[in-house]
Amino acid sequence: MREPKSEASRLLGIRLRERRLALGFNQESVALLAGLNVSNYARIDRGHGNPTMYTLIRLAAVLQLEVSELMIGLDVAQLPPTHDAYIAIEFQRSQDSMANRRVG
């Protein structure tokens, strides 16, 4: 079985699947109601997808949830690592440093 894209994707998939099952829906029903391709929804439900904001909003509406309920507790630490990830203050320091080098 393929591994989830990230811990965030895995947790989102669990939340969607648990809610879907609690409502008695299958993947096909949720996909149809949300206007999604069944295979695309199935990837998200298994934690392998990376849904857009629009998709998350549609899924939350179908599953009678707030989007925040799907996202609560997810943060950057649960995403795949990248070499260029900045937080705002690090980015500003980098920009200031480059500007000082050009001036000096």
pLDDT single digits (tens) 80-94: 776 566 678 887 888
Segments making up each domain of the chain, as ranges: 7-103
> Which range, of 4-8, 38-42, 62-66, averages the lowest pLDDT?
4-8
CA atoms within 13 A on the CB side of 24: 0
Q: Specify the fold of 7-103.
A: 434 Repressor (Amino-terminal Domain) (1.10.260)
Is residue 74 predicted with pLDDT exceeding 80? yes
Instruction: With H, G, I as helix, E, B as strand and everything else as coil, classify residue 32.
Output: helix
Q: Residue 72 has what pLDDT?
A: 92
Q: Residue 88 has what pLDDT?
A: 82
**Average pLDDT over all residues of the chain:** 89
Query: Which residue intervals of 23-87 are DSSP H helices?
Result: 27-34, 38-45, 53-62, 67-71
Distance between CA atoms of residues 93 and 72, nearest Å: 30
Residue predicted with more confidence, 95 or 41 = 41
The model carries a pTM of: 0.74
CA distances from 5 to 2, 24, 47, 49, 77 (A): 9, 26, 7, 7, 13
